[in-house]
Structure 1
Amino acid sequence: MKEIWTTLASIMGVWAFFQSLMHNIFPAEIRLIFQKTFNQFINYFSVYCYYEITEIDGVNTNELYDAVQLYLSTSASIAGNRLSLTRLLNSSALTFSLSNHDRVVDNYKNVPVVWEHFVMQRQSQTISWRPLPEDKRVFTLRVKKKDKSIILDSYLDFIMEKANELKRKNQDRLIYTNSGGGVMDPRGMIPWESVPFKHPSTFDTLAMDPGKKAEILDDLLGFAKGESFYQRTGRAWKRGYLLYGPPGTGKSSMIAAMANFLGYDIYDLELTGVNNNSELRKLFMKTSSKSIIVIEDIDCSINLTNRNDKKNDHVNAIPGIPNEGIEDMGNKITLSGLLNFSDGLWSCCGSERIFVFTTNHVEKIDPALLRSGRMDMHIHMSYCSFSALKILLKNYLGFDDEGSLKSETLKELEELIGKANITPADVSEILIKNTRDDEKAVKELIRELKIRGEMIKCSKKDDVNVEYVEKDNEEKYVDGDAHEDDLGNK
């Protein structure tokens, strides 16, 4: 052992003497050439190659550095020895990151890669328009040369994708509104204002038929994972949904469930606050990717009624303005502008956006707005069904499908719910009032369903009687005309 240390010390001494000799005899240019040649010689026989990813690339922030830091946080929390804890803005979770000179081993497609983090003191700064941090932070990626193509072709893209998923998962949802009183920035007015979105609605708690719910979930998943499909087919990566049905059937809860399921932000667009088509385009350009753009009660927001509905022409017509134009309380958005907003050239500015329109009267909307490409999937939010009722009973009273209620009670509820046009919102209100007494809640619900069923039954009878009377009067009127004609002829 003593001989080994003696030999090693001799080698180091010879190397130090050689470096001193080189420094004193050869000029700097020759030394630089020698150093470069020596490094190339060493790298030629090395089985590894190295890549550096710096935090600041020149004067710009390197997005890849942030992505690597977030991606490695999942591995570093388990494998790292010395970790740094951070919490991102608008984030609900802590993230781990590697400290100085700490390393972690990752595995991608059975290819081992080694990440190491270095924090170095930055040299004296040159004059720049942006002050740089004192420390220079660098991730070093070490991989075998034979695996170089795999890493460069797909591994870094994989890291960016995973980092974006983690960011959306950890970041709080935001809901935006175009209030018209935005905050000033150096480039002008910011048209959107945001607050944290904390709506608890999910597809598990949504009162809807399970089959229809599964169909919507499959469609959303297909959209979220369909980037390659949209690129291959030459279509903009967007999708439109129309939610229609009576008030209180869960249209707003559906939007919240979609946002929570996909991890998207919501832009609640108030059309009455938009002055013209140009402003509408600017609002759209300020929306981010991976977002849901919502226009609620589109039939009430502005005058976009069905142009083919001749019955409403006298109501919708405005003197001097075509029927497809809108000028209501100073609002000058046209139907053409809204169509271009949802399916025109401007709709391609960005990616992974969902448009959701809601209405209580789908028959009032112009067919041009309802076609595929603008509203791809039409979802009817109907009155409460028996399957939706069971979900509400589970949400509010904790009843499950394994016998929390008697079979006779369930059978009665199933029979009554089909005859009473009651919305999930009305059922929820009855259950909320009686959450402390489950038995009373069920009795109140049964009583309300019976009352509504009787009202519908009576209204149907009245409609039949009115129809019979009108038909009878019409026959008498026709007979009377015929009798008078006969007398006149005589």
Structure 2
Amino acid sequence: MKEFWTSLASLMGVFAFSQTLLAAVFPPEIRFASVKLFNRIFHWCSSYCYFDITEIDGVNTNELYNAVQLYLSNSASITTGSRVNLTRALNSSAFTFGLSNNDRLVDTFNGATAWWEHVVTQRQSQTFSWRPLPEEKRGFTLKIRKKDKALILDSYLEFIMQKAEDIRRRNQDRLLYTNSRGGGMDSRGQPWESVPFKHPSTFDTLAMDPDRKSEIMADLRGFADGQSFYQKTGRAWKRGYLLYGPPGTGKSSMIAAMANYLGYDIYDLELTEVHTNSELRKLLMKTTSKSIIVIEDIDCSINLANRSGMKKSPPSGRNEAAMDGMRGSSGTEDGGNTITLSGLLNFTDGLWSCCGSERIFVFTTNHIEKLDPALLRCGRMDMHIFMSYCSFPALKILLKNYLGLDGIADCDDGLMVELESVIDKAEMTPADISEILIKNRIDREKAMAELLQALKSRAERPRRRRAAIVGDNGNDLEEEEEQEKRALETPKDGGDLLGDCQEGGEDGEEKS
């Protein structure tokens, strides 16, 4: 053992002497060049290459670093580690995991393997800077095989950016926007004001025929996943939906279900607060991608001049005194509102509507016959969705939501048969039925009995009305009711109850 330590000491002495001799003989420039040359030879011989992704690039935040951090936090391998970072961001509804300092993770992409290492070191004492830097220097080191370099740089990193955006949007609370009063700006100079969107409506709880819901959901998913299709066909990545039908049939709940299904924000546009076409365009420019732009009750929001230059009649339900008050001192309706039909059409399907991507326009109305055909054509309102009175499949969904009755097995067979026989004749909206079930949700038997009584009473009402005046008007009342029903159930352009446009409109656009 003594000889071993003696030999080791001699060897260390020789090494120190050699270092001193090299430093004296060779200048620093030559030594630096030698080390650099050695590193090049080493990397040339190695089958791997390395990439550093720092948290801060100069003085700017590196978005790729944040994207990689989010992407790796979604990996199943993270949660199996013995030590991980657990975080929850502001306005986020989920917890995320992350790599600990100097930890490693292996990922695969299209057969290529990527080794990630989270490198954290102490930053050297910094000089004066207008932006103080954190004490720790953070970054990711990506190790890949040289043969996979083209695949990783061209596709993998872009895939990480897209995946991180999806994770960020899924974890972040959705927002409900409304345009500022009078077309002004908020405290941050933005024309939109926002609040967290917490509406619980989903397609599972929506009172509608399941087949129709499946068709709508498939159309929404095809739109959200159709970026390559829209780019290939040269179409703007947008889609329009028209929700129409009697009040209380769930049009607002449908919009909330669409937003929750896709994870989109909602921009609720109040046309009465927009004075000119220019303001309308500015509002459109300030909307973000992955959003739903909503105009509710478009037939009675403002008065639009049609293509022949004639004014629409005053919206139903507003008396002349109220309309006079809306005209204001200038004598123009809606307090000086000068939005034209042309401005609204360009808003939904003009050049300005292409300033952004992945946006959905939703219009709602109780009277589709009052809308100009130009607003209903393909490219503007691509799908017309009729929100009808409550049907038997929709009734079963309401019974499950409010009373916990899952299918016919939880109900009396005879009672369900009675409900099925009278529900279509009653023509009650889901809102009316929901109110009955909410009031009696504690007592199921009482709720079912009261519901059946209400349905029977509503089903008998048209018959009693006809019987009371049949001597005076004959079949006029029956024909009038039939015409009203056809007006509600049939789109103005002759489409189906849940109809896509089959042919291009005025601009020759085809069905997407």
Settle same-fold status: TM greater than 0.5.
yes
Structure 1: distance between partners of 2:143 and 2:79: 20
Aligned equivalent of 2:85: 84
Unaligned ranges ≥5, structure 1? 472-490
Q: Decide whether the 8 Å contact of 1:299 with 1:305 is kept in 2.
A: no
Aligned equivalent of 1:178: 179
Q: Decide whether the 8 Å contact of 2:303 with 2:312 is kept in 1.
A: no
What's the offset of the Cα at 1:133?
A: 2.6
Structure 1: distance between partners of 2:140 and 2:6: 37
Structure 1: distance between partners of 2:2 and 2:341: 90
Find the residue that maps to 2:397 and give its secondary structure. Answer: helix
Q: Decide whether the 8 Å contact of 1:79 with 1:104 is kept in 2.
A: no
Structure 2: distance between partners of 1:278 and 1:161: 33
After superposing the two structures, state which structure 1 stretch, 352-361 or 92-101, moved more.
Answer: 92-101
RMSD of the alignment, in Å? Answer: 3.0
Aligned equivalent of 1:39: 39
Structure 2: distance between partners of 1:18 and 1:297: 88
Aligned equivalent of 1:477: none
Structure 2 vs 1, CA of residues 455 and 118 (structure 1 numbering), >3 Å: closer, same or farther?
A: same
Aligned equivalent of 2:487: none
Q: Deviations over 1:13-52 (max 9, x none)?
A: 8776665544433333323322221111000111111111
Residue in structure 2 matching 1:422, options 418, 428, 432: 428
Q: Deviations over 1:235-290 (max 9, x none)?
A: 11111111001110000100110111111111111111112112112211111111
Aligned equivalent of 1:387: 393
After superposing the two structures, state which structure 1 stretch, 347-356 or 18-27, moved more.
Answer: 18-27
Query: In the alignment, is residue 365 of structure 1 matched against residue 371 of structure 2?
Result: yes
Equivalences for residues 432-451 of structure 1 within 5 A = 432-451=438-457
Structure 1: distance between partners of 2:13 and 2:83: 35
Structure 2 vs 1, CA of residues 22 and 291 (structure 1 numbering), >3 Å: closer, same or farther?
A: farther
Structure 2: distance between partners of 1:308 and 1:99: 68
What's the offset of the Cα at 1:112?
A: 2.2
Aligned equivalent of 1:117: 118
Q: Deviations over 1:160-183 (max 9, x none)?
A: 222122112211111111133643
Aligned equivalent of 2:239: 239
Equivalences for residues 44-443 of structure 1 within 5 A = 44-75=44-75, 77-125=78-126, 129-180=130-181, 182-185=185-188, 189-304=189-304, 327-443=333-449
Find the residue that maps to 1:259 and give its secondary structure. Answer: helix
Structure 2 vs 1, CA of residues 170 and 7 (structure 1 numbering), >3 Å: closer, same or farther?
A: farther
Find the residue that maps to 1:119 and give its secondary structure. Answer: strand
Structure 2: distance between partners of 1:4 and 1:226: 73
Structure 2: distance between partners of 1:2 and 1:283: 85
Structure 2: distance between partners of 1:9 and 1:451: 106
Structure 1: distance between partners of 2:4 and 2:314: 101
Structure 2 vs 1, CA of residues 238 and 22 (structure 1 numbering), >3 Å: closer, same or farther?
A: farther
Structure 2: distance between partners of 1:148 and 1:109: 13
What's the offset of the Cα at 1:464?
A: 5.5
Structure 2: distance between partners of 1:308 and 1:451: 46
What's the offset of the Cα at 1:206?
A: 0.4
Q: Decide whether the 8 Å contact of 2:422 with 2:455 is kept in 1.
A: yes
What's the offset of the Cα at 1:446?
A: 0.8
Q: Deviations over 1:388-416 (max 9, x none)?
A: 00100111111112411122111110111
What's the offset of the Cα at 1:121?
A: 2.6
One-letter amino acid of the counterpart of residue 438, structure 2: I
Structure 2: distance between partners of 1:41 and 1:376: 62
Find the residue that maps to 2:347 and give its secondary structure. Answer: helix
One-letter amino acid of the counterpart of residue 106, structure 1: D
Q: Decide whether the 8 Å contact of 2:307 with 2:341 is kept in 1.
A: no
Q: Deviations over 1:289-324 (max 9, x none)?
A: 1111111111111113765798x75659x9xx9xxx
Q: State the identity as a percent.
A: 67
Structure 1: distance between partners of 2:307 and 2:161: 47
Structure 2: distance between partners of 1:9 and 1:350: 72
TM-score, with normalisation over the residues of structure 2? 0.83
Q: How many residues align?
A: 460
Q: Decide whether the 8 Å contact of 1:306 with 1:364 is kept in 2.
A: no
Aligned equivalent of 1:481: none
What's the offset of the Cα at 1:59?
A: 2.1
Structure 1: distance between partners of 2:337 and 2:271: 9
Structure 2: distance between partners of 1:347 and 1:5: 81
What's the offset of the Cα at 1:461?
A: 4.7
Q: Decide whether the 8 Å contact of 2:305 with 2:312 is kept in 1.
A: no
Structure 1: distance between partners of 2:5 and 2:363: 78
Structure 2: distance between partners of 1:13 and 1:149: 48
Structure 2 vs 1, CA of residues 229 and 21 (structure 1 numbering), >3 Å: closer, same or farther?
A: farther
What's the offset of the Cα at 1:120?
A: 2.1
One-letter amino acid of the counterpart of residue 175, structure 1: L
Structure 1: distance between partners of 2:78 and 2:220: 32
Find the residue that maps to 1:328 and give its secondary structure. Answer: helix
Equivalences for residues 8-23 of structure 1 within 5 A = 20-23=20-23
Query: In the alignment, is residue 453 of structure 1 matched against residue 454 of structure 2?
Result: no
TM-score, with normalisation over the residues of structure 1? 0.86
One-letter amino acid of the counterpart of residue 430, structure 2: P
Structure 2 vs 1, CA of residues 200 and 333 (structure 1 numbering), >3 Å: closer, same or farther?
A: same
One-letter amino acid of the counterpart of residue 186, structure 2: V
Structure 2: distance between partners of 1:395 and 1:209: 15
What's the offset of the Cα at 1:426?
A: 0.3
Structure 2: distance between partners of 1:313 and 1:282: 26
Unaligned ranges ≥5, structure 2? 316-322, 478-512
What's the offset of the Cα at 1:10?
A: 9.2
